[in-house]
Structure 1
Amino acid sequence: MSNQDIIPGLEERDITPRSVCDGFDPSRLTQARRLAELTKKELAGHLGVTPAAVGQYETGVSRPRPDLIPRLAELLNVPMKYFLIGRPSSRLDSSMAYFRSLRSTPKAQRERSLAFAEQVWELTFALEKRIQMPLVDLPGFAGGEVHPGADLSEEPSTAAQELRERWGLGDGPVTHLVRRMESHGIAVVLPPEADPSASSVDAFSTRSPRPLVVLTRNRADDVYRHRFSAAHELGHLVLHSDATGDNRQEREADAFAAEFLTPRASIQPLLPGRMDLARLADLRRAWGVSIHSLIYRCRELGLISDATSSRAFQRLRALNGQPGFTPEPVSSFPGEQPVLLRQAFELAAQDSGLTTEHLAHELGWKAERVRELLNVHDQRPVLRLVK
């Protein structure tokens, strides 16, 4: 396999501060700055220029001087070639992604997460040039976009029932939810533990060009919350054409997730008429949903009163950490861990000798970043020198 040049005719040895200045892509600076969670003012301070100058670099009004290019690369932890124009990209904004509690999520964190999603798209695009991934089997998906309501009811619970039927899930528990989503063409990603978004932003999703769900690490300590987040984001993808971040959309996505994971017709006969947390603990493992979610489901279905549910939540908090009431990490459930991108890379590696270094060159990234997003480790032997 031969490496693809970032700019036709531009070899790796020809990438100099002057060549990067001449072929500077303003959007790449914006993406890298957001990934680093730096404001224009902060970046300007590190560069010794004005915030207005950084703004002009990002809008394309002017370009950074050649002598600033190496400093930019160092500050933003990218190779100089990252800033070169000519690579496929996807620009996202908040209207294109569904964030939990959009208004309470700081702007810098939203922007960083969107830049992360952009990089996932670039990586997915590079892999899809080599490997045919599962076709998107999502109602309303056409031409690289999802058009909610096209094939499913707009009512959340009914839409969940219809999608279960379409995916042949029957009326029982949904096993291996994340892997099932991937098998139906939805790219699912769990960011590296070191990624700043892993603990600061809840799960989010975006519709285009391939539906993407990012399940952040702040719920990876509890597989049941993790699965509900995945189903919640799936609800956004099939119900909502625009991300407003309002309470209505969040309630609808929750209602979709509850019905998708625990269909009323199936779960209601199994729920206790009187609050029985031990019984709910058994149902938790069988159905893959949290006890908290099951208590809410009991109240929602009219089996218990608001007062009873409040007392049940108090008792549940007191039992936290006890056998049967301890969170179970996602790491113990392979079917809830995304593998689509890693397996696509491994298949391309077997078929054509693709390496993370090849992808890094093509994407203009560091190889370490490629390995992080693919969740693969450097297989080279480590040289250890004895002191």
Structure 2
Amino acid sequence: MSVDDQLPLFGVPGGRTPTGGPSPQVVADAFDQARLTQARLLAGLTKKELAERVGVTAAAVGQYETGMTRPRPELIPRLAEALAVPAAFFLSGRPHGKLDGSMAHFRSLRSTRAHQRAKAVAFVEQVWELTHALERRVRLPAVDLPGFSGGEVHVETPGHPAQAARALRARWNLGTGPIHHLVRHMEAHGIVVVVPPPDPDADTVDAFSTSHLPRPVVVLTANRFDDIHRHRFTAAHELGHLVLHGDVAPGDSQQEREADAFAAEFLTPRDSILPRLPGRADLRRLAELRDVWGVSVDSLLYRCRELGLLSDSSAGRAYQRLKSLRGQPGFTGEPVSLYPGEQPILLRQAFDLAARETGLTEHVLAAELAWPPARVRELLGLPDPRPTLRLVP
């Protein structure tokens, strides 16, 4: 049975194809222009590229996406094939977490091209749609985050970033020592954290977050770095954006500095780390602290300078020595895969619970979302059931 065979028509009158899917006429009559834009962005295509694949002009695609005109019924199968989605993907009526690119904080904004940001935003929209579908069956943790309330951010002035970090530690009962399993703590307090599959077309997208959906979402990308200490700092950095900048338009370099300050205090509180930091650039001692606190030696060196233990010149010389030690024991990056507690599991666990209790399957979920089943498996981290075939030599 195909995905289209299982898709409801959301109250839209009309026919179905011989296989049971919605007919091109039905889809054309109830065409949702926003879905076309979303699918095109996810496919990484320009309007011109999509137009060439479908056999229309770029202007026509633009008119479809603005709702000025609708595609003719005979174009629906071509659009679906070109964008690798079921034809029913274009039907209106399903929940759509629409998000503008100006609502997301990108850590590497300057190096991230506009089309990459647009694709990343479309990905987050799908993450929310998947989350929403799972929440219809499973109660996820309530969002416990200062300034966040039901998709609308009401700012509780946190003061200085370091003060906000200490306040959140207290609110989450994290104490004053090292934070183990940071990503799990974020998920336990209602934040959706995802690591998308590697995408060569988004190699400059580092990490980003948004508070402008019914649940805050943090995306930690694996394209450029696979180092557990950078991964944790990036997660804390995005958490800082959620706490500090929920109502502020992103893109300000000052916001990035504030998110860094929040992350440093959240992971290594001043009053706790200061007595343990060496009074000189002792890299071996910092490597030992790295393993205890889960932050990089670079971050600890910066913390030493920030807290007045090292002068700028001493810190500069220490960074040069550190550069020469890269790859040596104690100074080598460790892959995130070695730390299960820092890998998101919330959505996968919700799916597994719904599967046990309600019989939910990836195909049912795909039908509800109007996605290919492979997309559901990809976002949930489910194994591909198809056998791996190889040619016999």
SS of the residue 1:204 aligns to: strand
CA spacing shift, 1:75–1:380, aligned 2, 3 Å: closer
Which of 147, 160, 163 is the equivalent residue of 1:155?
160
The answer to which of 61-70 and 127-136 deviates more is: 61-70
Which of 23, 28, 35 is the equivalent residue of 1:16?
23
Q: Tell me the residue number matched to 1:226.
A: 231
Paired residues of 1:220 and 1:330 also in contact (CA < 8 A)? no
Which of 334, 340, 343 is the equivalent residue of 1:328?
334
The answer to which of 372-381 and 2-11 deviates more is: 2-11
SS of the residue 1:188 aligns to: strand
* Aligned equivalents of 1:290, 1:164: Cα separation in 2: 20
Paired residues of 1:192 and 1:375 also in contact (CA < 8 A)? no
Q: Tell me the residue number matched to 2:180.
A: 175
Q: Tell me the residue number matched to 1:99.
A: 106
* Aligned equivalents of 1:51, 1:4: Cα separation in 2: 30
* Aligned equivalents of 2:52, 2:365: Cα separation in 1: 33
* Aligned equivalents of 2:69, 2:215: Cα separation in 1: 33
Which of 217, 220, 232 is the equivalent residue of 1:215?
220
Which of 10, 13, 20 is the equivalent residue of 1:7?
10
The answer to which of 157-166 and 12-21 deviates more is: 12-21
Q: Tell me the residue number matched to 1:206.
A: 210
| Aligned-pair CA distance for 1:47 | 2.2
Paired residues of 2:7 and 2:88 also in contact (CA < 8 A)? no
Q: Tell me the residue number matched to 1:275.
A: 281
- Superimposed CA distance per residue, residues 203-226 of structure 1 (whole angstroms, 9 cap, x where no aligned partner): 100112100000001355100000
Trace 1:72-221 onto structure 2 (pairs within 5 A). 72-148=79-155, 150=156, 153-194=158-199, 196-197=201-202, 199-207=203-211, 208-218=213-223, 220-221=225-226
* Aligned equivalents of 2:220, 2:354: Cα separation in 1: 25
Q: Does 1:373 align with 2:362?
A: no
Paired residues of 2:108 and 2:205 also in contact (CA < 8 A)? no
- Superimposed CA distance per residue, residues 106-164 of structure 1 (whole angstroms, 9 cap, x where no aligned partner): 1000000000000000000000000000000111221322333x1x5231000000000
Q: Tell me the residue number matched to 1:311.
A: 317
SS of the residue 2:329 aligns to: coil
* Aligned equivalents of 1:377, 1:195: Cα separation in 2: 21
* Aligned equivalents of 1:157, 1:121: Cα separation in 2: 30
Amino acid at match of 1:203: A
* Aligned equivalents of 1:70, 1:21: Cα separation in 2: 10
Trace 1:222-371 onto structure 2 (pairs within 5 A). 222-240=227-245, 241-371=247-377
* Aligned equivalents of 1:349, 1:385: Cα separation in 2: 35
* Aligned equivalents of 1:103, 1:195: Cα separation in 2: 18
TM-score, normalising length: structure 2: 0.93
Instruction: Give me the CA root mean square deviation.
Output: 2.0
* Aligned equivalents of 1:368, 1:304: Cα separation in 2: 52
* Aligned equivalents of 2:32, 2:59: Cα separation in 1: 17
Q: Tell me the residue number matched to 1:43.
A: 50
* Aligned equivalents of 1:49, 1:3: Cα separation in 2: 30
| Aligned-pair CA distance for 1:166 | 0.5
* Aligned equivalents of 1:190, 1:56: Cα separation in 2: 34
Amino acid at match of 1:205: S
State the identity as a percent: 64
- Superimposed CA distance per residue, residues 11-36 of structure 1 (whole angstroms, 9 cap, x where no aligned partner): 67141222211111100000011111
TM-score, normalising length: structure 1: 0.94
| Aligned-pair CA distance for 1:5 | 1.5
Amino acid at match of 1:8: G
* Aligned equivalents of 1:384, 1:38: Cα separation in 2: 31
| Aligned-pair CA distance for 1:192 | 1.5
CA spacing shift, 1:32–1:296, aligned 2, 3 Å: same
Amino acid at match of 2:271: A
CA spacing shift, 1:290–1:80, aligned 2, 3 Å: same
SS of the residue 1:55 aligns to: helix
Amino acid at match of 1:213: V
Amino acid at match of 2:205: V
| Aligned-pair CA distance for 1:46 | 2.2
Amino acid at match of 1:120: V
SS of the residue 1:302 aligns to: coil
Amino acid at match of 2:169: R
Amino acid at match of 2:210: T
SS of the residue 1:217 aligns to: coil
